[in-house]
Amino acid sequence: MNARAAWYVLLFVLGALVGTAGSFVQSAWFPGGLILALLASAGVFYGGLRATGTQLGVVASGAGWLVAIVLLSFGRAEGDGAFGGGVAEMIYLLGGMAIAVICATLSRLSPPAP
């Protein structure tokens, strides 16, 4: 596995961790938790762009975030789920996806001048 692939795997896992943590934080401390969760999501998406220099860094972290969110939204057979269906959950889902799209459509970064 080359270094670039390792970055993408790391960003996928980091996106999944941020998505999982944000799912619980956004409903625990409304509205501060929602803002914190969206800022953390924006940080991992933009960080993926800066770390790799390509939009694939955003896609990797966004894919991990989305997988975690979707798996947590399914719930369990007992009826337990991370999302209760309120306004804050919808803002987190739609806001996180919008932030990922915004970061993915940013222009590529130019290499630093020597």
Q: Where in the chain are the domains?
A: 3-74+82-104
For the chain, list residues with pLDDT below 50. none
Sign of CA dihedral 4, 98, 39, 81: negative
pLDDT of residue 64: 96
Instruction: Output the pLDDT for position 45.
Output: 95
User: Which pTM value belongs to this model?
Assistant: 0.85
**Residues 29, 45: Cα–Cα separation, whole Å:** 23
Candidates 20, 46, 36, 37; CA nearest to 100 is 46
